[in-house]
């Protein structure tokens, strides 16, 4: 049913766009009015992309007018009828033909309404059952939709949010602390741009710290703010596991550094150094997020007497993704074995690289 609706929308869109273009209109004009790209307008008109019902409605209003009448024209084209021209009834059987045409129009109108209702309910049911939370607000920032996952995330029944101004949720629910989320919401509202937020913290009425990531998507009509769709993903478990991992590594007696791999020999700025590593190489007051991996290695080099040999070691084995080790001489007078190897998953795919630095005892040094 949804596919049939899409087909008649495309037929109507192609028909009315020819008229629109004849009078000087263009896809670029449509894109500007809707606040989307011309390539997306072209894809929707050509059928390679499926627009939302809201966007279809907006397109219909630009190209023709009322959405239902717009679709009715598409239905007529699909049935090989004249799109807009109605023949006058013949004198001998005009009443019968007129009644037949009116009956066809009424049935067609009812079918379109049913298809629209079916499509709306179909997608609404999907959104209701998403694992991610979804809020939808109107132009006055009142919550008009909240799916079931919102209750799982906040501990507040979804229906209790309906009609509440999202900017005043802390007044409505005093035990809910959501200041960080509201700040991000206001930022997206002001800029009228889609905004991704990551690992912001809220406190639920049950006293649970929750870390959220997701998207804030403003609805814009004629350049004016018209509400927001808020997608909320609970990243608490991921955040907790990350914190546990960091605490575990910080308790390790050896200096450890981990870096994410983009491709063999190329490493991203996603990395972590444990407490021992930071202390050993003068970075105890720096968080890994504050400096790049290259800057971190440069600082390590300042504490390594045989720095040139160590640099050559890194370049050779980073590029070849091989496991290797060498003895480094630290400026503190001690010697350490620097071991570097790939981090590989169960399928053998390399995800990053790990360096472990262990002090070498005097007896071991003689052997080396």
Q: pLDDT tens digit string along 146-159?
A: 998 889 898 889 89
The pLDDT value given to residue 99: 61
Is residue 221 domain-shared with residue 296, that is, in the same domain?
Answer: no
The answer to whether position 247 is within a domain reads: no
Is residue 296 domain-shared with residue 266, that is, in the same domain?
Answer: yes
Is residue 33 domain-shared with residue 64, that is, in the same domain?
Answer: yes
The pLDDT value given to residue 226: 93
Is residue 92 domain-shared with residue 17, that is, in the same domain?
Answer: yes
CATH code of residue 290: 3.30.450.20
192 DSSP assignment: T
The pLDDT value given to residue 124: 64
329-335 contact pairs (CB < 8 A, 24+) = 329/304, 329/305, 330/280, 330/303, 330/304, 330/305, 331/302, 331/303, 331/304, 331/305, 332/303, 334/359, 334/360, 335/359, 335/360, 335/365, 335/368
Is residue 179 domain-shared with residue 261, that is, in the same domain?
Answer: no
Is residue 229 domain-shared with residue 300, that is, in the same domain?
Answer: no
Give the helix/strand (H/E) hosting 234: strand 224-234
Output phi, psi for 252, to 5 deg: -70, 135
Q: Which residues contact 294 (CB under 8 A, 6 or more apart)?
A: none
The answer to whether position 244 is within a domain reads: no
The pLDDT value given to residue 367: 45
Is residue 188 domain-shared with residue 204, that is, in the same domain?
Answer: yes
The answer to whether position 296 is within a domain reads: yes
Is residue 103 domain-shared with residue 27, that is, in the same domain?
Answer: yes
Is residue 144 domain-shared with residue 113, that is, in the same domain?
Answer: no
| 318 contacts 261 by C-beta, under 8 angstroms | no
The pLDDT value given to residue 175: 85
Domain count, the chain: 3
The answer to whether position 87 is within a domain reads: yes
The answer to whether position 245 is within a domain reads: no
- Total residues belonging to the chain: 368
Is residue 282 domain-shared with residue 171, that is, in the same domain?
Answer: no
Q: Decide which of 238, 263, 283 is a domain's last residue.
A: 238
37 DSSP assignment: -
Is residue 124 domain-shared with residue 138, that is, in the same domain?
Answer: no
Is residue 181 domain-shared with residue 282, that is, in the same domain?
Answer: no
The answer to whether position 331 is within a domain reads: yes
CATH code of residue 54: 1.10.260
Range of the domain at 59: 2-128
Q: Decide which of 74, 100, 128 is a domain's last residue.
A: 128
The answer to whether position 54 is within a domain reads: yes
d(CA 314, CA 355): 10
pLDDT less than 50: residues of the chain: 1-2, 87-92, 363, 365-368
Q: pLDDT tens digit string along 306-339?
A: 999 999 998 888 767 788 999 999 999 999 999 9
């Amino acid at each position: 049913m949804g596919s049939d609706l899409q087909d008649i929308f495309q037929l109507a869109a192609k028909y009315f766009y020819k008229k629109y273009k004849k009078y000087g209109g263009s896809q670029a004009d449509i894109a500007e009015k809707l606040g989307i790209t011309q390539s997306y307008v072209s894809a929707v008109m050509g059928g390679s992309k499926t627009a939302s019902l809201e966007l279809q409605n907006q397109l219909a209003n630009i190209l023709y007018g009322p959405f239902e009448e717009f679709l009715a024209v598409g239905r007529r084209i699909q049935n090989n009828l004249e799109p807009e021209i109605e023949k006058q009834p013949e004198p001998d059987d005009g009443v019968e033909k007129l009644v037949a045409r009116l009956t066809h129009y009424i049935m067609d109108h009812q079918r379109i309404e049913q298809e629209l209702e079916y499509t709306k309910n179909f997608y609404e049911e999907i959104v209701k059952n998403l694992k991610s939370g979804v809020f939808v607000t109107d132009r006055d920032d009142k919550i008009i939709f909240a799916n079931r996952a919102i209750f799982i995330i906040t501990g507040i029944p979804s229906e209790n949010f309906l009609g509440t101004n999202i900017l005043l949720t802390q007044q409505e629910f005093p035990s809910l602390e959501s200041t960080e989320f509201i700040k991000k919401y206001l930022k997206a509202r002001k800029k009228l741009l889609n905004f991704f937020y990551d690992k912001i913290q809220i406190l639920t009425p049950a006293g649970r710290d929750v870390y959220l990531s997701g998207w804030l998507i403003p609805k814009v009509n004629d350049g004016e703010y018209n509400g927001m769709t808020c997608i909320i993903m609970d990243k608490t478990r991921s955040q907790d596991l990350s914190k546990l991992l960091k605490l575990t590594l910080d308790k390790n007696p050896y200096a450890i550094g981990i870096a994410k791999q983009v491709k063999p020999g190329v490493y991203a700025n996603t990395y972590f150094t444990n407490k021992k590593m930071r202390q050993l190489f003068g970075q105890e007051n720096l968080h890994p997020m504050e400096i790049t991996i290259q800057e971190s290695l440069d600082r390590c080099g300042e504490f390594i007497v045989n720095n040139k040999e160590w640099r050559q070691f890194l370049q050779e084995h980073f590029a070849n993704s091989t496991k290797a080790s060498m003895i480094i001489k630290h400026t503190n007078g001690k010697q350490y074995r620097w071991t570097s190897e790939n981090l590989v998953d169960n399928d053998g795919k390399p995800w990053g690289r790990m360096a472990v630095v262990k002090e070498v005892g005097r007896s071991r040094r003689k052997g080396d």
